[in-house]
Amino acid sequence: MKIYKSYILVFFAFFLGIQSCGEDRLDVEPVNEFLSSNFFVTEDQISSALIAAYDPLGWSMAYGQWISYVMFGEIRSDNANAGGDPSNNDQPGWQEYDDFTNTNSNVVTQPLYRRNYIGIFRANTVLYQSQVSSPAVEVFKAEAKFLRAYYHFELFKYFGPIPVVTELLAPGDVDLERNTASEVFQQIITDCQEAAAILPVTVSSGEAGRATKGAALALMGKAYLYWADILGDDAAKFDQAAAAFQQVVDLGVYQLEDDMQTLYSFGVRNTNESVFEIQHNSLWTSDWSWFEGIDGNGILQLCGIRGLCDNHPDYQAGWGFMMPTQSLWGHFLPDDTYRRDVAIASDAELAQDIIDAGSSCNPVIDKTQSNPVDYTGFWQEKYPNYKAHAGTNVNGGDENLTKAQNTHSIRYADVLLMLAEALHRGNGDDGAAMTHIDMVRERAAGPGNNTGNFKTAQTIMSEQGWSLLDLIWYERRAELAGEGDRWFDLVRSGRANATLFVGDQDKAGNFSDEHLWLPISLEESQVAPNLTTYPDAGLFK
């Protein structure tokens, strides 16, 4: 990676400098208290290094660019468009992702790639630099293995088969080649298996967000699920995915929140539905000069409702990115309006909110402030820009960057739907698959006990003339709308094609199979010439 090239230049500059100095100039006390050779010798030091390995998870901005996987998974798909200001060129990197016009010079691509390899480097540092052994350190190393698996999995989702890095690289070792898909997934699964054997089932409230056995098993199942799809519906791999997801269920520590809306309410974090949740912090003094990574959830402001008047009782105006499409609004069946309303707000609903609060304003939404190409009258509502976030940063940071709503990486509802899919597409029991789907559908009907008052999987399939797989695809899009899974689900299952974008001239006209994966950035290719820009077809084996 390019960072190593920088280290070499700094080293030689330093070396030439000391050669010109007298020996007496070098006879000084060390300035730094710790070096790599003496840092990893206590549990506290190793714990600090582990926290650094977690840190890139929470970056919603890095190196001057927004890098949210939630935004990418929605905007790249038929769920949302980029949005932004009236110029139709606000955040050009994201406009390119939206319209399939991105190349290897897209400004967001390198930060996406770099963030995850920084995470891998930090995880490997914990694994290979630790100089003390204890039960606590073994758990720290298990967490590092989970993180290494997570970062590799994220890279695969964007770039396809990428270099697997399981050791600390020397500066001359950075010109790596891509591994095959099977090699990538096997490493992810091995790391998850080894982590799950050691990680605790639960953690204390003060350690919320740290890896657990359930998180490792769920990620392992997800890797098997993707691997099975990439290999062309490998039933044995689907069976292994189902076995991993069943272990998550059998832990008995997760349950669906009764009211789905609760998951996205102000101040709600790490519920019983959270299998793995990315933590965002409002305490850092992050601002626009903070270059490496913003730990707040920046998409709350970035994807908030553009042009919203000040009188809304709960929300303040945002910058209008990740605008839901008419296609997503129309996806929900007539009995599924509660789940739709959790995910999407319409202009009409926002106006009614103001009336219900005994207030008024005209206009409720100033449409002239929004991108006219992408404007639909719909707004994402799972990452709402609550007025209540004002004042939560007490250390002087920019409140647009330091809002602290967490990101749901893996929810229990997602596990149940992935388990149902793995059972159906493998050699499992379709009846059991429908039972798991019905658990999600019962909750989707709204708060309270809806037994007997919701349409079961069997009923929906009969009414719609759907197969079980059709229902699974429906449920995944409806349940996870606005959470970033849509594009990656489409790609791994072979359903990403131009016909998804009927009515969107840019997307439909520009899409090709080349756009299933992001290209390696030009910046990265310059320091790693053996790394092909796009993955060759022969790597998908």
| C-alpha–C-alpha distance, residues 354 and 296, integer Å | 28
C-alpha–C-alpha distance, residues 332 and 445, integer Å: 12
Rounded Cα–Cα distance for residues 73 and 79 (Å): 9
Going by the DSSP 8-state scheme, the letter that residue 289 receives in this structure is T
pLDDT at position 173, please?
A: 86
Length of the chain: 541
Buried b (16+ CB within 10 A) or exposed e, 123-142: bbbbbebbeeeeeebebbbb
Q: Which of 413, 395, 156, 389 is nearest to 275 (CA)?
A: 413
Q: Write out 211-257 in H/E/C secondary structure.
A: CCHHHHHHHHHHHHHHHHHHCCCCHHHHHHHHHHHHHHHHCCCCCCC
Domain tally for the chain? 1
Does residue 356 lie within any of the structural domains? no
Which amino acid, residue 311? N
Residue 283 has a pLDDT of 66
CATH number at residue 145: 1.25.40.890
| Residue 252 in domain | no
Does the residue 166 lie in any domain? yes
Q: Is residue 88 part of a domain?
A: no
Task: Report the predicted TM-score, pTM, of the whole model to 2 decimal places.
Answer: 0.92
Residue labelled with tokens 């990486």: 409
Pairing mode, strands 407-411 and 65-66: unpaired
Tokens for 33, please give them: 């208290």
Residue 144 located in a structural domain = yes
CA–CA dist 370, 86 (Å, integer): 5
Which amino acid would we find at residue 184? V
- Residue 170 token pair: 């020397």
Q: Which domain holds residue 53?
A: 1-67+108-198+511-541
Torsion over CA: 225, 226, 231, 232 (sign) = positive
Q: Which tokens in the block code for residue 13? A: 């500059």
- Is 250 part of a structural domain of the chain? no
Q: What is the pLDDT of residue 402?
A: 80
Query: What pLDDT sits at residue 7?
Result: 32
Q: How far is CA 259 from the centre of its chain?
A: 23
Q: Give the pLDDT of residue 399.
A: 79
Amino acid identity of residue 316, one-letter, is Q
Kind and range of the H or E element at 199? none
Question: Pick from 414, 379, 366, 201: which is nearest to 305 by CA?
Answer: 379
**Residue 498 belongs to some domain of the structure:** no
Mean pLDDT per 10-residue segment, the chain (541 residues): 32 32 42 60 94 93 90 98 96 98 97 96 96 96 98 98 95 90 98 98 95 98 97 96 98 98 96 96 64 79 97 97 98 97 97 96 96 97 94 74 91 98 97 98 97 96 98 98 98 97 93 97 94 96 95
pLDDT for res 33: 56
Q: Residue 231, class by beta-carbon neighbours within 10 Å (0-12 exposed, 13-18 middle, 19+ buried)?
A: middle
Q: How would you classify residue 330: left for phi > 0, otherwise alpha for psi between -120 and 50, otherwise beta? A: alpha
Q: Which of 33, 171, 221, 57 is nearest to 123 (CA)?
A: 57
Q: What is residue 392's predicted lDDT score, i.e. its pLDDT?
A: 77
In whole angstroms, give the CA distance from residue 419 to residue 435.
11
- Cα separation of 410 and 242, whole Å? 16
| H-helix segments, 279-429 | 299-302, 326-329, 337-343, 347-356, 412-425
Which residue is it, tokens 């390019």? Answer: 2
pLDDT for residue 286 = 61
Helix or strand or coil: residue 184?
A: helix
Torsion of CA 74, 79, 82, 83, to 10 degrees: -130
Residues 235 and 43: their CA atoms lie apart, in Å, by 43
Distance, C-alpha 176 to centroid of its chain: 25
Residue 473 CB: number of other CB atoms within 10 A? 17
Residues 6+ apart with CB under 8 A from 237: 224, 225, 227, 228, 231, 426
In this structure, is residue 478 part of a structural domain?
A: no
By the 8 A CB rule, do 441 and 453 touch? no
Which amino acid makes up residue 492? R
